[in-house]
């Protein structure tokens, strides 16, 4: 089970896009009458809207005819559901065994030094979110990080710093 997550987000003004339920309703309709739909629906809705904010969870709960308590029970249990906005890039630092014995703890420190964020946090500019994950499964090239869906391996702390700065400066978006 993931760390206990605060599920209360500060009250936000929602944009019209965030309150446009077309996608959400379509996803729920796709799974109508489908056994065990809760997790796939939440996954797809999260993909479409970025994260699971209060109004969105309520909308899903009406659609699936499940209480929002039940949904939050599921959302808070699994590490891959997010109840807070996330950065443009997600840095996943692998904290698996092989990475740990090869010093991946230092790489998390580098992220903190560069952007002031700890595990699960997003920086002020909404550019980066740091996630420490249990194992990316690329132990042969420890220590490993993933930025979005790109894997970088055999890193030293300083090499990781350079990669983060490249993302920060937009060099990686080209």
Q: Any known ligand binding at 99?
A: yes
DSSP bridge pairs for 151: 146
Shortest gap between Cβ of 105 and another protein (angstroms)?
9
Q: Among residues 55 and 157, whose Cβ is nearest to another protein? A: 157
Considering only residues 4 through 33, tell me which ones interact with another protein, judged by CB under 8 A: none
What are the DSSP calls for 32-80, one per residue?
Answer: TT-TT-HHHHHHHHHHHHSS--HHHHHHHHHHHT--HHHHHHHHHHSTT
Q: Any known ligand binding at 135?
A: yes
C-alpha 126/C-alpha 144 separation (Å) is: 23
Q: Among residues 97 and 125, whose Cβ is nearest to another protein? A: 97
C-alpha 98/C-alpha 139 separation (Å) is: 6
Binding mask 78-117 for another protein (x = CB under 8 A): xxxx-------------xxxx-xxxx--x--x--------
Known binding residues are 94, 99, 135, 139
């Amino acid at each position: 089970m993931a760390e206990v997550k605060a599920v209360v987000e500060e009250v936000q003004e929602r944009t019209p896009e965030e309150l446009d339920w077309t996608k959400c309703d379509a996803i729920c309709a796709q799974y109508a009458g489908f056994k065990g739909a809760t997790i796939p629906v939440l996954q797809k809705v999260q993909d479409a809207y970025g994260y699971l904010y209060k109004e969105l969870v309520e909308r899903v709960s009406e659609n699936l005819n499940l209480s929002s308590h039940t949904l939050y029970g599921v959302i808070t249990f699994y590490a891959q559901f997010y109840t807070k906005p996330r950065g443009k890039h997600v840095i996943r630092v692998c904290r698996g065994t092989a990475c740990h014995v090869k010093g991946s703890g230092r790489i998390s420190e580098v992220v903190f030094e560069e952007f002031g964020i700890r595990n699960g946090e997003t920086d002020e500019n909404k550019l980066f979110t740091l996630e420490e994950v249990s194992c990316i499964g690329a132990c042969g090239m420890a220590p490993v990080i993933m930025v979005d869906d790109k894997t970088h391996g055999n890193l030293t702390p300083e090499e990781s710093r350079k990669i983060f700065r490249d993302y920060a400066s937009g060099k990686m978006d080209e």
